[in-house]
Amino acid sequence: MTAFKSLYRSMRRVLPSITRAGSWRQYPIGLSLILIAPLFLLLGFGFVYPVAQLLGQSFFAPEFGLGNYRRLLETPLYLKVLVRTVTIAAIVMIAALILGYPVALAMARIRRKLSGLVMACVLLPLWTSALVRSYAWIVILQRRGLVNDLLLGLGAVGEPLKLIYTQSAVIVAMTHVLLPFMILPIFGAIRMIPPELEQAARNLGAGQLSVFIKILLPLSLPGISAGCLMTFILALGFYVTPALVGGPGSLLMATLIGQQTTETLDWGFAGALSTVLLCVTLLIVVCFRNVLSNNRGISNVA
């Protein structure tokens, strides 16, 4: 009973502080550590430990040294795959931005009911398995698929075009999958812009284009930055879609790492490839942040 009474007194002291603003500063250090321990354990066992083990294997397998990294740098194929991965990720990011910004703007400006319908259409790819989405693009782009049948029916081409298993097919499929990650941050940023700013600009004689360039676009840059970062980073690590839709000429780093771990069982070289891809990703993210940090909103987001 004494133990239960002491626990009850402790809870009575802690629970009222939860409802007060800034109450996290009043938590005892021991209780704070207990509360955040599950998160740190999950992060450690689910992310830090596997990454650290893969990094260690890149130096110790099959023997200690930098042999795996020398192999990567001395073989032109692997460097070509790395450059292709970064290039395709950048193209997908730009394509998603061009296609996603008008959709996000329309979602923020139309009526609430229609906005919810458009939001459901935007989120539909996220509700569908990546495997199903990739096979859907195979059905659309294959030699007897919807696109080739339409072109043949219109007489635009004399024979089916090779649309599937190409780098263009990879870009189209990845853009479709990653489009929601570009639209949603931009939509959130545009929704936060007070409509009075645009009304005031129009009352002062500004046109639609001038309002967009001088008000809407600068104030939505934080959402653009967040969407570009998420889309680019996710595109760098894409595996399922390039493996199914792409061909030998569109091999990406994630597919190459998968081959090293499942087919050749060369975990040391797979670790080296993963480490290089991780370092390149961090470098590009840092450069992206430094270039766009002149904008106050972007520096906070990135």
User: Considering only CA atoms, which of 163, 162, 144, 140 is closest in space to residue 153?
Assistant: 144
Tokens of 178: 């990653």
Between CA 214 and CA 117, with CA 297 as vertex, the angle to 5 degrees is: 75
253 in Cβ contact with 275 (< 8 Å) = no
pLDDT in tens, 113-166: 787 788 888 888 778 887 888 888 888 888 888 888 888 888 777 788 888 888
Residue 194, burial from CB neighbour count under 10 angstroms (0-12, 13-18, 19+): exposed
> Please, which pLDDT band fits residue 26 given cuts at 50, 70 and 90?
low
The pLDDT value given to residue 95: 95
The pLDDT value given to residue 141: 87
User: Considering only CA atoms, which of 205, 239, 186, 222 is closest in space to residue 297?
Assistant: 222
The model's pTM: 0.79
Residue 53 CB contacts under 8 Å (≥ 6 apart), including other chains:
none
> Please, which pLDDT band fits residue 294 given cuts at 50, 70 and 90?
low
The pLDDT value given to residue 5: 53
The pLDDT value given to residue 154: 83
The pLDDT value given to residue 4: 42
User: Considering only CA atoms, which of 76, 89, 49, 68 is closest in space to residue 280?
Assistant: 89
Task: Give me the domains of the chain, ranges plus CATH numbers.
Answer: 57-301 (1.10.3720.10)
The pLDDT value given to residue 92: 95
Q: Helix axis angle, 221-236 relative to 76-109, nearest 10°?
A: 140
pLDDT at 19 over 50: no
Please give the share of the chain, as a percent, with pLDDT higher than 90: 14
pLDDT in tens, 70-86: 888 888 888 899 999 99
pLDDT in tens, 243-263: 888 877 788 888 888 888 888
